[in-house]
Chains A and B, each alone.
Chain A
Amino acid sequence: MIQKILFPLFLIACLTGPPPLRAQQNATDHLVRNVQAGVKRYPEDYAGYAALGAAYLQKGRETADAADYELAKSALEKSLDRLSNDPAAAFAMTQMAVVCMVEHRFDDALSWAQRALALGSGDPSPWAIAGDALADMGDYNGASEAYSRLESSYGSEDEKLAFSYQRDSRMSFLRFVAGDTQGAIQFMSSAVRTAIETHMPAENIAWSQYQLGEELFLAGETNAAEKAYLASLDECPNYYRALAGLAKVRASQNRYADAVKLYKEAIARVPYPEYAASLGDVYFKLGQLADAKKQFDLVEFIGYLSQVNQQIHNRDLALFYADHDLKLRESLSLARKELEVRRDIYTWDVLAWSLFKNDKLQEASEAIAHALQQGTNDPQLFFHAGMIYEKTGDSAKARSYLQRALDINPHFHILYSSTASKTLARLAQKEIVVSQQAASSVH
């Protein structure tokens, strides 16, 4: 699930620079200081402010601190105050679009990307953000069209390859959503190759390998996923995304102690609420309920830390509450709020799950239909669908979806894999009883 929740952020990271690590954070601090000095020397230079905005954005990705995004926005506004009607302003506008994406203001992100494109700078980068925003708004055809524009007739071969990397890594996500998991894996493998061949920064390569791992895990290819996460950690030791990915694999291998250790390491680097929730689930599985509760409290704490965090983590919190039968009305309210700005399949899925937990079964089955409409082969979507249909009395559909979830990956979730198996068994038992009753009534 982490993959789906964080995917836009990964894509942004991939567009604008390498994702973070401790060493990287030091380098970014250094970069921020340098650019600040430049801005002080030339306070009327639009390019200096644009560079400062980009540097703060990078820092924001590394620290997940909302204050950095605010600083980025302020610097970018200053750049655009100095130059906005010129092809050279496209960079600042694209960065502004990225800020909006981070803050989940997808409509604004699309507008900024379109404004950047309207300047006709000759740089197709804004298409990437336009595509990301469209994908989050559920317009997958539009996103695909936008990504297909990520090529340039200008620049060096390496620059052209960089665009092909951006395109492949994004198209991979769209293929996955369209239900073509193998196609998605191929696109991502190609992106990994391009990243290595073009000597991209280590973090970029690590991100690509990690992303490949995510897709392989979702496809149930756990061993291959493990290899991809390890390759990512080889490239960038302590890379928090890969640590969390590997933790997930370890949990699926019943190596819970390793999973706990890895999740803790990931959280120590970047405290994403999803990581805390997953760690809590592992503790729960181990029966360490007090530790689990601590992590669950942490999820809420991070989610409500700031205004921006609340915007960003609406969906994560909604899912977290629904998953753990906590604050179910708030879960539903958060999911509905998220759907106002984000109409992709995963928001529909979270809404469906939350409606299900709130016993609104008719609405839940309508929402899950939206989530499934692209044909995505995601075990978690199938699990939610199966559980909803079981409760609405459509046993055939319930059995089919639960079976598909387990067929793809029998260990798709530390807690829900067994729930899926138990529900399937219950449904089978029910079927036997029904057929016996039918037979006896005939006699």
Chain B
Amino acid sequence: MKTLGWSVLSLLVAPIVCAQAPRNTATPAQQKISWAEGSIKARPDHSQPYNDLAVAYVQRVRETADTGYYDQAETVLQKSFEITPDNLEGQKARLMILLGRGEFGQALGLAKALNKKTPDDVLLYGFIADAAIGLGDYGDAEEAAQWMLDMRPGNVPALLRGAALRRLYGDARGAKDFFAQAYQQMAPTQTEERAWTLTQMADLQRSIGDLAGAEKLLHSALQQFPGYYAALEESARVQTMRQRYSEAVDLLHQRSLKLPTAASRYALAQALERSGQTTEARLAYADFAATARPLISASDNANEELISYYLDREHNPAEALRIAQLEITRRHDVNTLDAYAWALFGNERYEEAQKQIAISLAVGVREARMFYHAGVIAAKLHDDRSAARYLNQSLELDRSSESAAAVREALQNLAPESAAIARGDK
């Protein structure tokens, strides 16, 4: 696969001067909605305009984080299926809804069945990849993404999925290349998609400690799609890593003006706590718990945040583990495995914790937080050499990560011989 120089990023964050910038204030999804509504008026007896409208509603969810649009999409799809039962494009729109709601198992089943009937449809492979990534079946996801690239070299949906997989495999540079290739193909009018891609790239940069690079990308993302909630959330993470907690609070307050999610409420509560606003933090945590708990059994939940909440804030490891166990029965992606391992660790079940974190790290993922977890789990099992190695990897990856202080403290608690390894005195 062609590799682009990293310098291409500087082009990506350059201001948009293209005259193709949107001519009106409607977002891409809103334009698509209006287009599809026009088509429905013109051709009410065709199923495709209804499918187009459903897809536009799904895109609107990503623009706004308002999952209510999924319901509207479903209603519209019913019309489509009344006209042409089980039509492929309608089924694909249904798949997008399932994936958006985190129904990965059901989505994978449907995507595979449709793929069997229509093996030349590129996007169906993309949906298989999405569902497999959600479930943690990375081999299947990789195979599907490779099919996409082989069928239509350089297509954007494949590049974006390839980037996600490369990142999971610990290939940050390769992920950047794919993101950059995808971004370069996007038209300036695709403001949300460009902003989303820039946000993903910023997240990647932050994960390797390049906070300045991440900030530039986020600045560009917010220029292209002002007020974009995903970019605001990511910006708050960057500010947290810079230990500018009140800036993070401001950003998250700004983000919360429109449709806050359980996850964004948790981020706000954490930021308030870090900035010393104890009372506000307490209220925000309560607000988060009230929002997240009813979702525990839902597929689109905030269980990862709840696990962290019960471990770190409520000191209720039993509840954290109960939730983690529920979640691990649904999916075994690297984040769920890490959260499960951390919940087991909180319940002093160190050997089981080590087993889970090992499975997660075996994928190749390189996240400072996970190396930290692996390090302290190993330390509890008196495997100081492994502990030192993991903790060292966490710091090497990102010296300013949220876990960095805890990593340093854990390193100091190791035996002198292992600490020497950590310092590099091999």
Contact = CB atoms under 8 A, between A and B. Distances in A.
Interface of A: 80-88, 111, 114-115, 117-122, 124, 130, 134, 139, 141-142, 145-146, 152-155
A84 B154 contact: no
Given A83-B88, A117-B187, A145 B155 contact: no
Interface in B16-57: 17-20, 28, 35, 46-48, 51-52, 55
B153 A154 contact: yes
B51 A145 contact: no
B157 A120 contact: yes
A86 B93 CA distance: 11
Given A120-B156, A141-B19, A84 B182 contact: no
A117 B88 contact: no
Interface of B: 2, 17-20, 28, 35, 46-48, 51-52, 55, 88-89, 92-93, 120-123, 152-157, 159, 181-182, 185-187, 189-190, 193
B333 to A, nearest CB: 25
Nearest 3 A/B pairs, CB to CB:
A120-B156, A142-B19, A122-B154
B349 to A, nearest CB: 45
28 contacts: A82-B89, A83-B88, A83-B89, A84-B48, A84-B51, A85-B51, A85-B92, A86-B123, A87-B123, A88-B121, A111-B35, A117-B185, A117-B187, A118-B28, A118-B190, A118-B193, A119-B156, A120-B182, A121-B156, A122-B152, A134-B19, A142-B18, A142-B19, A145-B20, A146-B20, A153-B154, A154-B2, A154-B154
A152 B28 CA distance: 25
Contacts of A84: 48, 51-52, 89
B155 A121 contact: yes
A83 B121 CA distance: 9
A154 B35 CA distance: 32
Contacts of A111: 35
Contact of A153 (B52, B92, B181): B181
A334 B89 CA distance: 42
A139 B20 CA distance: 9
Contact of B153 (A80, A82, A85, A155): A155
Contacts of B157: 87, 120
Contacts of B182: 120
Contacts of B46: 81
Nearest to A127: B187
Contacts of A81: 46-48
Given A82-B88, A120-B155, A145 B187 contact: no
Contacts of B156: 87, 119-122
A154 B154 CA distance: 7
Contacts of B154: 122, 152-154
A85 B88 CA distance: 10
Contacts of B122: 86-88
A101 to B, nearest CB: 16
A172 B117 CA distance: 47
Contacts of B123: 85-87
A145 B18 contact: yes
A88 B186 CA distance: 16
Given A81-B48, A83-B89, A122-B156, 19 more contacts: A81-B47, A82-B88, A84-B48, A85-B52, A85-B55, A85-B92, A87-B155, A114-B187, A114-B189, A115-B35, A117-B189, A120-B155, A120-B182, A121-B155, A130-B20, A130-B187, A139-B19, A142-B18, A152-B154
Contact of B152 (A82, A115, A121, A153): A121
A120 B186 contact: yes
Contacts of B181: 153
Nearest to B31: A111
Nearest to B190: A118
A84 B92 CA distance: 10
A88 B121 CA distance: 8
A142 B21 CA distance: 9
Contacts of A117: 185-187, 189-190
Contacts of B153: 122, 154-155
Contacts of A134: 19-20
A203 to B, nearest CB: 28
Contacts of B55: 85
A124 B153 CA distance: 12
A82 B159 CA distance: 25
Nearest to A122: B154
The interface centre, meaning the residue of B51, B92, B93, B123 with most chain A CB atoms within 10 A of its CB, is B123
Nearest to A121: B155
Contacts of B20: 114, 130, 134, 142, 145-146
A111 B23 CA distance: 11
Contact of B89 (A85, A122, A124, A155): A85
Contacts of A82: 48, 88-89
A119 B89 CA distance: 14
A122 B88 CA distance: 23
A115 B31 CA distance: 11
A135 to B, nearest CB: 11
A81 B156 CA distance: 22
Contacts of B19: 134, 139, 141-142, 145
Contacts of A154: 2, 153-154
Contacts of B17: 145
B58 to A, nearest CB: 10
B62 to A, nearest CB: 13
B121 A118 contact: no
A229 to B, nearest CB: 34
B203 to A, nearest CB: 20
Nearest to B35: A111
Contacts of A80: 48
A88 B88 CA distance: 14
A80 B89 CA distance: 10
A82 B87 CA distance: 8
Given A118-B193, A145-B20, A87 B152 contact: yes
B410 to A, nearest CB: 44
A418 B154 CA distance: 57
A137 to B, nearest CB: 10
A124 B155 CA distance: 10
B149 to A, nearest CB: 9
Contacts of A139: 19
A114 B20 CA distance: 10
Contacts of A88: 120-122, 152
A111 B51 CA distance: 18
Contacts of A145: 17-20
A45 B173 CA distance: 40
B89 A118 contact: no
B252 to A, nearest CB: 30
A133 to B, nearest CB: 10
Contacts of A83: 88-89, 121
A87 B125 CA distance: 12
B315 to A, nearest CB: 47
A115 B193 CA distance: 13
A82 to B, nearest CB: 7
A139 B52 CA distance: 29
A100 to B, nearest CB: 13
Nearest to B123: A86
B209 to A, nearest CB: 30
A87 B189 CA distance: 17
Nearest to A144: B19
Nearest to B59: A118
A145 B190 CA distance: 15
A130 B190 CA distance: 14
Contacts of B48: 80-82, 84
Contacts of B190: 117-118
